[in-house]
Amino acid sequence: MGAATSPGPDRGPPSARKHASGVFISFEGGDGAGKSTQIATLADALREAGRDVVVSREPGGAPGAEAIRKLLVEGPADRWSPMAEALLMYAARADHLQRTILPALEAGAVVLTDRFADSTMAYQGLAGALGAATVERLHGLVVGTNDPDLTLILDLPPEEGLARAGARPGGGTESDGSGAGAESRFENKGAAYQGAVRAAFLKIAADNPDRCAVIDASGPAGEVAARIRAAVCARLPSLGPASPGLPPLGLPPSG
Ligand SMILES: Nc1ncnc2c1ncn2[C@@H]1O[C@H](COP(=O)(O)OP(=O)(O)O)[C@@H](O)[C@H]1O
Ligand SMILES: [Mg+2]
C-alpha cells in the first residue's frame, strides 16, 4: 500500500484522531432503512454549518469501484462464491479509499459514505458463509487504520425496510431509479438472511462502541434525522459551526 494509506508516525497513536483534518462518517443498515435519505439530510445540515461535504457510497464511490459495483449488485443471488464476493467488495473499497475518501479527508472535507466495511462484515462475514475472521484479514490489508470516525447504524426490522424499498421509485432499486429490480441481488437473499444481517450490525455496534452509534430508524424521516443530528453532535463535537454566525448542527431545521 502507498504512503497515503499508511497511518504513519505523524498521525500519532491509534487512539488519536485518525483523520487529522477531515471527518469520516459511514452509514450502515439494511436495505430501505433510510441511509440514502438521511445522508442527504445530514449533508445539507453540514453544508449549512459551513462544512465541505463529500457524499459517496459502496460498493462504488470511484470510477473503478462503480464498475465493480455492477458485478456485485446485479444478477442472481448465487452469482459469486463467498470469497469472490468479498474480494470484489474489498477491491472496490481499496479504490474508493485511495481515489475518493482519503483525498477528501486530506482536504478537510466531511465524507459521508452510504455503506462501508461493516456491510461486508455483516453480509458476507457474520450473516454470510465467509465468516468474520476472513473478513477481518481483508479489512486489515485494505482499510488498516482508516476506519470511519463515526458509524451510524440505522436499525429497522428488515420487513419494514424491504417494504420501504419496494415502495421506492424503481421498485426495490437504489433511489436513482436505475431500472426496476436491477440492483436487487442482496434483497433477494431471503428473510432469514436479512434478519441475520440486522443482528450482525447490532453485534458490530456492541463490539465497537467508540466508533458506532445505533440509530432507531423507525418513524418519520424527520424524527430519524433528529436522532442522527443528536448522535453526530454528541460523538463529534468538532462538527459544530465552522465559524461564528453559522447555524449549529444541533438545531432542528426551522419551520
Ligand atoms: N423514515 C422513513 N419513513 C418512511 N419512508 C422512508 C423513511 N426514510 C426513507 N423512506 C423512504 O423509504 C425508501 C427507502 O429509503 P432509502 O433512504 O432509499 O433507504 P436505504 O438507502 O437505506 O436503502 C425511499 O423511498 C425513501 O423515500
Ligand atoms: Mg440507499
The residue whose C-alpha atom lies closest to atom 8 belonging to ligand 1 is 34
- When the pLDDT of each residue in the chain is averaged and rounded to a whole number, the result is 86
Task: Determine the average pLDDT of the residues in 108-121.
Answer: 97
Q: Is the pLDDT of residue 172 over 60?
A: no
Task: Determine the average pLDDT of the residues in 82-91.
Answer: 96
Edge to edge, what strands does the sheet with 150-155 contain? 53-57, 110-114, 23-29, 150-155, 212-216
- Domain containing residue 27: 21-239
Task: Determine the average pLDDT of the residues in 92-102.
Answer: 98
For 112, the grid coordinates are 459521508
Tens-digit pLDDT profile for residues 155-170 = 999 999 989 988 877 6
What is the number of structural domains in the chain? 1
Instruction: Determine the distance separating the centroid of ligand 2 and the alpha carbon of 29, expressed in angstroms.
Output: 10
- Structural domain includes residue 15: no
pLDDT given at position 181: 61
- Structural domain includes residue 11: no
Task: Determine the average pLDDT of the residues in 192-220.
Answer: 97
The residue whose C-alpha atom lies closest to atom 5 belonging to ligand 1 is 164
- Structural domain includes residue 245: no
- Structural domain includes residue 226: yes
Quick check: CB of 36 below 6 Å from ligand 1?
Answer: yes
Quick check: CB of 55 below 6 Å from ligand 1?
Answer: no
218 CA closest ligand 1 atom index: 1
- Structural domain includes residue 9: no
154 CA closest ligand 1 atom index: 22
Q: Is the pLDDT of residue 180 over 80?
A: no
Quick check: CB of 188 below 6 Å from ligand 1?
Answer: no
- Structural domain includes residue 253: no
Please give the Cα distance from 134 to 128 (Å, whole number). Answer: 11
Q: Are residues 200 and 121 in contact, defined by beta-carbon separation less than 8 angstroms?
A: yes
- Structural domain includes residue 5: no
Measured from the alpha carbon of residue 28, the closest ligand is 1
- Structural domain includes residue 95: yes
Q: What CATH number is associated with residue 124?
A: 3.40.50.300
pLDDT given at position 189: 74
Tell me the pLDDT band of 87, cut-offs 50, 70 and 90.
Answer: very high
Instruction: Determine the distance separating the centroid of ligand 2 and the alpha carbon of 218, expressed in angstroms.
Output: 16
